[in-house]
Amino acid sequence: MGKLIQIGNIIIRVYANDHLPPHFHIITPDADALVDIETLEILRGKLSRRSEAEALVWARANGNLIVDEWNRTNPRFPIVGKGTKS
């Protein structure tokens, strides 16, 4: 549930009923991080530079998809005015 994409060994995921602020997870075999959806700032965790760069390139290009998935799986805390379904 919530897996948006896998890029090599990098998984980008949004969990249902998650906490604020709105964020997504970047998961690799060796590390994971929480990333703010609006600013793309890493809130917690640490990734290799390469994994972080690859994931954030995808996130910048697919921000609407991430927002839509957050809103679908976290209806208590919607991100208003962004995404394709806002």
Q: Report d(CA 9, CA 43) in Å as an integer.
A: 21
State the pTM of this model: 0.92
DSSP state of 23: E
Q: How many domains does the chain have?
A: 1
Task: Tell whether 81 is covered by a domain.
Answer: no
- Digit-coded pLDDT (tens) for 27-73: 999 999 999 999 999 999 999 999 999 999 999 999 999 999 999 99
In a domain, 85, yes or no: no
Return the pLDDT at 56: 98
The tokens describing 86, both together, are: 């806002």
Q: What residue numbers bound the domain in which 36 lies?
A: 3-73
In a domain, 80, yes or no: no
Residue 51 sits at φ, ψ, to 5 deg, of -60, -45
Q: Are 43 and 34 in contact (CB under 8 A)?
A: yes
- Strand residue runs (E) in 14-80: 23-27, 32-36, 42-45
Number of H helices, E strands in the chain: 2, 5
